[in-house]
Structure 1
Amino acid sequence: MNDLAIRPAVLSDIPAIVAMLADDPLGAERESPDDLTPYHTAFQRVTDDPNQHLVVAVRAERVLGTLQLTIVPGLSRRGSTRSIIEGVRIHAEERGSGLGTQMIQWAVDESRRQKCTLVQLTSDVTRTDARRFYERLGFTASHVGFKLTL
């Protein structure tokens, strides 16, 4: 994977990112690859926020993976800063290749660079393979998450 680059996403990456977000049973229910308008609006909000890092993994100009890293300053834990990893997706042809590990390592390294003391992420309870993957990388299932759809 020497020719792999992890770089900030650009507007022209949106179709590939959305296709990966939609490429599983959960994503297929909530994503709309046929209408990219809301994704373009969201992309602008993300890129305007210095605490948001939407990145893609690219090889030979092809987007193969993506994730979003959010830096969250806070008062808890003695005023520490934490990061949250969201939207991790690897192209179906690349799963099992080590690309996911490389991307998560990028996020952890960037979190350290940003002086974060904790890296958090969530994964849907139905994604058992993802849970095993994150545990293998040293993450622990330490909390129960809650959501409220608005």
Structure 2
Amino acid sequence: MGDLDIRTAVADDIPAIVGMLADDPLGAQRESPDDLAPYLSALQRLSADPNQQLVVAVREGRIVGTLQLTVIPGLSRRGATRSIIEGVRIHADERGGGLGTLFMEWAIDESRRQGCQLVQLTSDTSRIDAHRFYERLGFTASHVGFKLEI
């Protein structure tokens, strides 16, 4: 795997992160790499919230992955704390080499370290390869998700 550093994202990372978010058919429709202002504003909000972590995976000085980890205290499941993994992206030329597995294992371990009893994520119904990947990691497709754009 080579040297891999997983660290908190900073403003200088935003172009690379947005590039990865936009580098697929779904992301190409909803991301705007030519206007980074909203992403920089979002990074400020994320950085100010102790329950949010936007991280990057860096190899040889190059950002090769990103994800957001959100910790949510709750009442259900006997007051369980859960985490949500969102916005997982691996750079196109790094896919298939085990980086995604390593990155997700980091997120699960970090969730456990923060006292979470459950890790959850959503994936667009069209991302069949991603679904197989998550299932190989032990995730189960247990719920139907709904979204409402407002």
CA separation in 2, counterparts of 1:2 and 1:89?
19
Report the CA distance between 1:37 and its aligned residue.
Answer: 0.4
Aligned to 2:56: 56
2:2–2:59 contact (8 Å) kept in structure 1: no
Aligned to 1:143: 143
Report the CA distance between 1:125 and its aligned residue.
Answer: 0.4
Aligned to 2:42: 42
The yes-or-no answer on 1:17 pairing with 2:17 is yes
Aligned to 2:75: 75
Aligned to 1:108: 108
Report the CA distance between 1:97 and its aligned residue.
Answer: 0.8
Aligned to 2:5: 5
Report the CA distance between 1:23 and its aligned residue.
Answer: 0.1
2:130 maps to a residue whose letter is: A
Report the CA distance between 1:65 and its aligned residue.
Answer: 0.2
Find runs of 4+ consecutive structure 1 residues off by over 2 angstroms: none
- The gaps in structure 1 that reach 5 residues or longer are none
CA separation in 2, counterparts of 1:9 and 1:36?
14
How many residue pairs get aligned? The number is 150
1:92 maps to a residue whose letter is: A
TM-score when scaled to structure 2? 0.99
* Residues 94-147 of structure 1, C-alpha deviations (whole Å, 9 max, x = no match): 000111001100000000001100000000000000000000000000000000
CA separation in 2, counterparts of 1:119 and 1:93?
27
CA separation in 2, counterparts of 1:53 and 1:77?
23
2:45 maps to a residue whose letter is: R
TM-score when scaled to structure 1? 0.99
